[in-house]
């Protein structure tokens, strides 16, 4: 974003992803809402991540709505393009130099442990519209602090993962949308025509590869938890080894050679160009895909992840998104007011439509405003998040402070498996050891 555009927008953007964890002992006094409404002129800094030109408009809208509701608050907004590690690196530098934003729409549990996140209980308890947010989402947010159940983040949406397929290419190959993993592997082979630079699948070997692989492994095995009752990690279960061997074994045979370094933007570009018949990603790709195909939904479709290998269950991989406050902010009352506006239907319905997410404000996901564009993937997203499709939720341990760091640590290993210099079993065994150590350390701090 250019400097002039930032000034015109009057924003500074911060993104924060939500994850669960520990506890810091700095609680602000509860705000008086009448006092908040008469705050002096205040500037609140907000950052967000993974921005694109389409997404940028949603944050400009947020700034305008906030100014309408709270004329005394000016939003200094910064949108950071790229992947999550890029965002976290910038945020960590800002925290170290005391220049971090007042709030972000990115959550990671390590920021509970470090004390960066402010407990929001006092603010939330005195918020007159607190019942507007889904009780289940608030309960999930509190689970990020298993011992004290403090609220470190306000949920605003749910982000489901699914499978994007080129239905036009499948039909030409005499196939329908894959319902099982066997269907999927067969389709990938049939859709591949290397001479024409067309492949059945685009694999994510670059940033975010671990997150994608987790979703697919557990969807294949049907396991719901990352740890058994004895604290042993299930990520290296035999079914997962079997899946990783089959899935990453597609690389450079039924997928392009440059898949080794592809991130989410490159995945969607391959899909839209017809160079890949299938990709796995969250529904945030929906806007760019719909635009690329001029809204012609006969050419593409979002689908649920294939059923488990034994066909017994439909799994769902859903991540919650939320806003969190800087514990060192000098404008906490104004920051919380801005956070509540960000969670509102006026902001979240258009933002969720852009990013393929499901708002958690009561009634928003079933409203005509959310579904009026006839994007079928939004209807599917709502069914998946609510469990109306009968799917089973995969319980992701985002409460572990090291969870995201471990994901980043294993991504080079995933590339090694793709390149044939490491076995799937070695990858998953090392991954399991890292998660088990993190779980043991976390449990020891919980009393």
Write phi, then psi, for 52 (nearest 5 degrees): -135, 165
pLDDT given at position 413: 99
Give 324-393 as a 3 state SS string: EEECCCCCHHHHHHHHHHHCCHHHHHHHHHHHCCEECECCCCCCHHHHCCCCHHHHHHHHHHHCCCCCEE
d(CA 268, CA 264): 6
Q: Are strands 199-201 and 154-165 parallel, antiparallel or unpaired?
A: unpaired
d(CA 135, CA 138): 5
CA atoms within 13 A on the CB side of 294: 0
For residue 361, list its beta bridge partners.
Answer: 133
CA–CA gap between residue 445 and residue 22 (Å, rounded): 8
The answer to pTM > 0.85 is yes
Confidence (pLDDT) at 446: 78
| Structural domains in the chain, sorted by start | 42-157+320-387 (3.40.190.10), 160-317+394-445 (3.40.190.10)
DSSP 266: H
User: How high is the pLDDT of residue 52?
Assistant: 86
Residuewise pLDDT in 10s, the chain (447 residues): 333 443 333 433 333 333 333 333 344 445 554 444 556 799 999 999 988 888 899 999 999 999 999 999 999 999 999 888 899 999 999 999 999 999 999 999 999 999 999 999 999 999 999 999 999 999 999 999 988 999 999 999 999 999 999 999 999 999 999 999 999 999 999 999 999 999 999 999 999 999 999 999 999 999 999 999 999 999 999 999 999 999 999 999 999 999 999 998 899 999 999 999 999 999 988 989 999 999 899 999 999 999 999 999 999 999 999 999 999 999 999 999 999 999 999 999 999 999 999 999 999 998 999 987 778 999 999 999 988 889 999 999 999 999 999 999 999 999 999 999 999 999 999 999 999 999 999 999 876
The CA-based angle 11-15-18, given to 5 degrees, is 150
**At which residue do the structure tokens 């018949």 appear?**
277
Q: What's the confidence (pLDDT) of residue 39? A: 63
Distance CA 111, CA 404 (A): 11
């Amino acid at each position: 974003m250019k400097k002039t555009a930032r000034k015109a927008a009057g924003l500074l953007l911060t993104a924060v992803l939500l994850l669960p964890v520990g506890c810091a002992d700095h609680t602000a006094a509860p705000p008086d809402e009448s006092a908040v409404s008469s705050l002096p002129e205040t500037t609140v800094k907000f950052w967000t991540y993974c921005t694109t030109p389409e997404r940028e408009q949603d944050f400009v809208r947020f700034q305008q709505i906030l100014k309408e509701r709270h004329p005394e608050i000016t939003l200094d907004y910064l949108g950071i393009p790229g992947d999550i590690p890029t965002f976290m690196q910038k945020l960590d530098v800002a925290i170290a130099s005391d220049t971090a934003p007042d709030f972000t729409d990115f959550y990671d549990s390590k920021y509970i442990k470090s004390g960066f996140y402010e407990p929001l209980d006092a603010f939330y308890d005195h918020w007159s519209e607190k019942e507007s947010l889904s009780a289940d989402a608030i309960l999930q947010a509190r689970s990020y602090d298993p011992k004290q159940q403090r609220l470190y983040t306000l949920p605003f949406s749910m982000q489901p993962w699914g499978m994007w397929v080129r239905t036009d290419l499948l039909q030409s190959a005499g196939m329908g949308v894959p319902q099982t993993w066997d269907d999927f592997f067969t389709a990938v082979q049939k859709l591949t025509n290397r001479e024409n630079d067309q492949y059945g699948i685009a694999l994510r070997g670059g940033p975010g590869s671990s997150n994608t692989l987790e979703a697919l492994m557990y969807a294949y095995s049907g396991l719901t938890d990352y740890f058994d009752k004895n604290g042993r990690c299930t990520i290296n279960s035999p079914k997962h080894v079997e899946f990783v061997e089959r899935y990453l074994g597609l690389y450079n045979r039924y997928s392009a050679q440059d898949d080794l370094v592809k991130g989410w933007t490159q995945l969607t570009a391959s899909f839209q160009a017809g160079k890949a018949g299938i990709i796995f990603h969250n529904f945030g790709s929906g806007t760019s895909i719909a635009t690329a195909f001029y809204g012609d939904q006969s050419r593409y479709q979002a689908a649920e992840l294939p059923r488990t290998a034994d066909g017994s269950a439909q799994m769902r991989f859903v991540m919650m998104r939320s806003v969190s406050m800087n514990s060192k902010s000098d404008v906490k009352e104004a920051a919380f007011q801005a956070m509540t506006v960000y969670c509102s239907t006026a902001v979240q319905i258009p933002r969720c439509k852009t990013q393929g997410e499901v708002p958690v404000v009561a009634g928003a996901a079933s409203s005509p405003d959310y579904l009026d564009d006839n994007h079928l993937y939004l209807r599917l997203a709502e069914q998946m998040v609510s469990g109306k499709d009968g799917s089973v939720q995969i319980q992701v341990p985002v409460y572990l402070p090291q969870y995201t760091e471990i994901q980043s640590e294993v991504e080079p290993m995933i590339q090694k498996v793709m390149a044939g210099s490491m076995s799937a079993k070695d990858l998953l065994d090392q991954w399991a050891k890292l998660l088990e150590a993190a779980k043991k350390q976390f449990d020891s701090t919980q009393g």
